[in-house]
Amino acid sequence: MKRVFAAATVGGRPVVHDPATGLTHLSPLRVHAGRHVLEEDAVACWPSISPADLDVAVPVSVCWSPIVRCNLACPHCLDDKSVPEAGTGERMRIAGILAASGVLGVDISGGEPLLLRDLPDLARRLASGGIAVSTTTNGWHLARRASELVGAVDAIRVSLDGPDPARHDA
């Protein structure tokens, strides 16, 4: 199956970032910086590399939590609800900074990112900088929001968490 990946030469090495797995792979091919549609089975066979081994100042990927609100109240949640939530303008400004940063992948998480009305716009803004965009969600609103995320988000990760250790680790 073909899907979107982000590629660049990082630390002198051609790399491809996979938004679905969060892994960065060494590419056997010369790659131009930006978003590419590649065969996922081929990329999965390429050796993965730790971003720390690339010896660069800019991270390969970023997990961005532009929202702390969530429709669930999981007791194990680590999100700091005392952090004030940025408005649409501030989120777009941050997305612009990330788009220009040289980062290959951004995972939009939270809180629950599907509560953000501007999520597709944020994803498109990030993608305009050559970034492969994923989002991590609890899945509650996925059926309702899926059609508007097509073409904006390259990968969706659904977090399967349980309310207590026994069910979470089952």
pLDDT at 77: 72
Structural domain for 9, as ranges = 2-54
pLDDT of residue 85 exceeding 70: yes
Do 30 and 73 fall into the same domain?
no
CATH of the domain at 105: 3.20.20.70
Do 125 and 76 fall into the same domain?
yes
Do 78 and 137 fall into the same domain?
yes
At 99-119, the pLDDT tens digits run 999 999 999 998 899 999 999
Do 73 and 112 fall into the same domain?
yes
At 8-64, the pLDDT tens digits run 999 889 999 999 999 999 999 988 999 999 999 999 999 999 988 988 888 999 999
pLDDT at 148: 96
Last residue of a domain, one of 54, 75, 98: 54
Residue 3 binned pLDDT confidence (cut-offs 50, 70, 90): very high
Q: Span 126-147, mean pLDDT?
A: 96
pLDDT of residue 76 exceeding 80: no
pLDDT of residue 81 exceeding 80: no
> What is the DSSP secondary-structure string of the chain?
-EEEEEEEEETTEEEEE-TTT--EEE-SS---SEEEEEEHHHHHHSPB--GGGG--SS-SEEEE------S---TT----TTSPPP-HHHHHHHHHHHHTTT-SEEEE-SS-GGG-TTHHHHHHHHHTTT-EEEEEE-STTHHHHHHHHTTT-SEEEE----SSHHHHT-
pLDDT of residue 79 exceeding 70: no
Residue 124 binned pLDDT confidence (cut-offs 50, 70, 90): very high
Long-range Cβ contact pairs of 68-75 (< 8 A, separation 24 or more): 68/110, 68/111, 69/110, 69/111, 69/112, 69/115, 70/110, 70/111, 70/112, 70/115, 70/138, 71/112, 71/115, 71/138, 71/140, 71/141, 72/112, 72/138, 72/140, 74/161, 74/163, 75/163, 75/164
CB 35 within 8 A of CB 5: yes
Do 116 and 156 fall into the same domain?
yes
Do 26 and 74 fall into the same domain?
no
Do 125 and 50 fall into the same domain?
no
Do 34 and 105 fall into the same domain?
no
CB 27 within 8 A of CB 2: no
Do 10 and 92 fall into the same domain?
no
pLDDT at 23: 96
Mean pLDDT computed over every residue of the chain:
92
Spatial distance between the Cα atoms of 113 and 145, rounded to a whole number of angstroms: 11
pLDDT at 106: 98
